[in-house]
Amino acid sequence: MKLKKFFIIFLITIMPFSMISCFNYNDVNKLTFVTSIIFDEDENSNVVLYLDCVKAFRNANESVEKGKRLIYKGQGKTALEAIRDVNMAASFKLNFTQNRAYIFTGNAIKNGIKKYIDLINNDPQFPITPNMFVYFDDIDKLLELSSSDEEYLGLFLDDLVEKNENSSKVIKLNTNNYMIERLLPNKLSIMSTLKLKDDACDKKLELGGGAIIQNDRMIGKLDNLNTLSYNMLTNNMESGVLEVSNPNDKKNFITLKILNSKIKTSVDYSDGKFILNKKLKLKTNIAESQSKFITDKNFINNICALEEESIKLNLENTFNEYKEKNIDILQVINLLNQKYGYKKEEDYLSKVEFNVDVEVNIDGSGRNKNSL
């Protein structure tokens, strides 16, 4: 009985210390929230930061919420000094807890981003959930586009990645995953790249391709075709389209829509060689045809065979292209380390052979499930 009373008193005592409060109206009105951070460097390797922010105003009496968009620029020898430079010009304290995107320019990624990762990792105010991007174009154009857009840059990119996370041509990498991958034997990650696209009336920001990062520095790029192959080989794709020549009319194409994608990976050792095995299964349907065709078993088998051969060739070309550059984009060394305890050697990729098997199934076309 005494023990029970002691336990109740103990709970009552510690309960106030476990309660975490949220922002009140006064807190919000005294803060400027950062929605995205752009890390850049000048010709002298000094850090240049751009912060896309919202100065919120909340009124408890009127139950209204207002926000003013602000874009700050800060410079310094370190990222922290650049942030302090911004704070000297900001009327309210900067808060980074609501940040949604970390963007690195070509200059920053070329010189290495370790110092920025250390800042994010060491400062509890910097979240580790935002996605990471690389931007190679003119920074002024990005800021001009951002300032004229209705959405904040970080929120826009967050929504854009979420909407396209299963797309065949989009790379997704958040900060937490990057911090894990940079500690693995290969120390390699692939970040999504941002680029400006000429739209009907103006320019738009879009995702496309990837930047290959190893030891916190960029060592290569992925174009859209190689991004498609990479997503297939790493099981990061659930939607997309494939184009195959119409067997009955070679000048026209049939479009297959990917409904599902699964891949099995294994690695073996034989006769002094490491064999990387990939078995890819794609479930598709016929989404579009530029010319007429008669659907029968023979026709479907021909389409599947043509597409399997084309995909296999593209996958092999992608792997071999980066193998020749000594870039292990499929993280073979991590698999070898897990299975054999293999330690990384300088020329280990030369001992790796790639074996890929592709199976394409066409499930149907149109709105009728059993229309084939």
Q: What is the pLDDT of residues 59-83, one digit of tens each?
A: 444 444 556 788 999 999 999 999 9
CA distance 107 to 38: 11
Spatial CA neighbour of 224 closest among 285, 102, 354, 314: 314
Instruction: Express each pLDDT in 200-242 by its tens digit.
Output: 567 788 888 899 999 999 999 999 889 999 999 998 887 788 8
pLDDT at residue 305, rounded to an integer: 92
CATH of domain 234-367: 3.30.300.210
Chain position carrying tokens 């099995």: 264
pLDDT at residue 270, rounded to an integer: 86
The whole-model pTM stands at 0.84
Q: Where are the alpha helices (DSSP H) in the chain?
A: 2-18, 25-29, 79-89, 106-111, 114-122, 139-148, 153-164, 175-181, 224-233, 297-324, 332-340
Residues 334, 338, 341, 343: what is their CA dihedral angle, to the nearest 10 degrees? 10
pLDDT at residue 219, rounded to an integer: 95
Domain boundaries, the chain: 22-222, 234-367
Q: Is 314 exposed, middle or buried (0-12, 13-18, 19+ CB in 10 A)?
A: middle
CA distance 251 to 245: 7
Instruction: Express each pLDDT in 295-337 by its tens digit.
Output: 778 888 888 999 999 999 999 999 999 999 999 999 999 999 9
Tokens of 237: 């794709």
Cβ count near 56 (within 10 Å): 19
